[in-house]
Amino acid sequence: MEFFRIKKDIPFMRHALVFNVISLLTFALAVFFLATRGLHLSVEFTGGTLVEVSYAEAPQLEPIRSALAGSGYPDAQVQNFGSARDLLIRLPNREDLDTSRVSETVMSTLQQAGGPAPELRRVEFVGPQVGKELAADGSMALLLVIVGIMIYLALRFEWRFAVSAIIANLHDVIIILGFFAFFQWEFSLPVLAAVLAVLGYSVNESVVVFDRVRETFKKKRAMSTPQVLDHAITSTISRTVITHGSTQVMVLSMLLFGGETLYYFALALTIGICFGIYSSVLVASPLVMWLGVSREQFIKPKKEKEEAVV
């Protein structure tokens, strides 16, 4: 079995402008949704209390809401979670609430609200300062990843590669966030982990292509820069599709079998993988070209390279 039977190098670079315009548009849309709708941050970031309960049979939501309002939580959000029998109750932090007692009060209110008794599945309470710290730590992690990867790529390849790989992949991150903003999916800590993992992972993709670019520059002297890039992308495309396909199969499995907790995590990865292929190949490579990559940059340090190989 072989999927890819490509006779000639595909002229990707001829359409470079089109690819970049497409990604610029999606990027602009993502930024627009992020700005207008904002992220639906989970309780971990905003602070507050989250109570998940399970009933033997589907409960009525209205009586529960009014019972909670009666116990002093008029701002409680009550919604079904997964199935009609599972409820998720969200309570924002308020200055005047004794936060350490919220979960007990909610449980006793639910028990008194009539109907079947609920089973407590999960409680999460996060104080306001913890939420802020998490958000700050998340941004720091993102920054560290960007700086770390740029330094590594600049040392290993060339600054042009580092810059274009990071631009291409940051644009993935923004697009994932844009999806979360548009659909108002819950942005939780595992999703943040997924976003950062995607960043590392799709830089991979650029690295594989760049490796080939470097190799081709050295081997095939007759080719022009766009031809070299076309050749590098064409000769790695089979691997690109198969690898991402395999990773996606795993992620799909999480999406299907992982339950609610892993659902958004897997969803973020799915978007990241799809856009990762596109951007790291079709956005990063033209950027490298426009930044002025040329054969000379790889030929000069040739002696050092040989030593490195030995």
Partner 1 sequence: MNRYPLWKNLLIGLVLLWGLLYTLPNFYGEVPAVQVSSAKATLKLDAAATTDRIAGALKAAGIDNTGIFSDANSVRARFKDTETQLRAKDVIEQAFNPDASDPSYVVALNLLSASPSWLTSIQALPMYLGLDLRGGVHFLLEVDMPGALVKRLDSTTGDLRTLMRDKSVRHAGITREGNTVVIRFRDAAQREAGRRAILDSTADLQLVERDDSADDLKLVATLTPQAQQTMRDFAIKQNITTLHNRINELGVAEPVIQQQGAERIVVQLPGVQDVAKAKDILGRTATLEVRMVDDTPGAIEQALAGSVPFGTELYTERGGSPLLVKKQVVLTGDRLTDAQPGFDGQTNEPAVHLTLDAAGARIFRDVTRENVGKRMAILLFEKGKGEVVTAPVIRSEIGGGRVQISGRMSTVEANDVALLLRAGSLAAPMEIIEERTVGPSLGAENIQKGFNSTLWGFLAIVVFMCAYYLLFGLVSSIALAANLLLLVALLSLLQATLTLPGIAAMALTLGMAIDANVLINERIREELRNGASPQAAIAAGYDRAWDTILDSNITTLIAGIALLVFGSGPVRGFAVVHCLGILTSMFSAILVSRMLINFIYGRRRKVDSLSIGQVWKPEGK
- As measured in angstroms, the least distance from the Cβ of 181 to partner 1 is 21
In the structure encoding, which two tokens stand for residue 157, read together? 């390849």
- As measured in angstroms, the least distance from the Cβ of 171 to partner 1 is 16
Cβ distance to partner 1 smaller for residue 173 or 181: 173
Cβ distance to partner 1 smaller for residue 12 or 45: 45
The 8 Å CB, 24+ separation contacts for 105-112 are 105/71, 105/72, 105/73, 106/49, 106/51, 106/68, 106/71, 106/73, 106/76, 107/51, 107/53, 109/67, 109/68, 109/70, 109/71, 110/53, 110/64, 110/67, 112/67
Cβ distance to partner 1 smaller for residue 16 or 168: 168
Cβ distance to partner 1 smaller for residue 262 or 293: 262
- As measured in angstroms, the least distance from the Cβ of 212 to partner 1 is 8
- As measured in angstroms, the least distance from the Cβ of 196 to partner 1 is 5
Beta-bridge mates of residue 220 = none
| Cα–Cα nearest to 168, from 24, 6, 9 | 24
Cβ distance to partner 1 smaller for residue 141 or 223: 141
Q: What span, in angstroms and rounded, lies between the C-alpha atoms of 261 and 190? A: 9
- As measured in angstroms, the least distance from the Cβ of 120 to partner 1 is 5
DSSP state letters, 16-28: HHHHHHHHHHHHH
- As measured in angstroms, the least distance from the Cβ of 92 to partner 1 is 15
Query: Residue for token digits 């470079």?
Result: 16
Cβ distance to partner 1 smaller for residue 65 or 239: 239
In the structure encoding, which two tokens stand for residue 52, read together? 């998940």
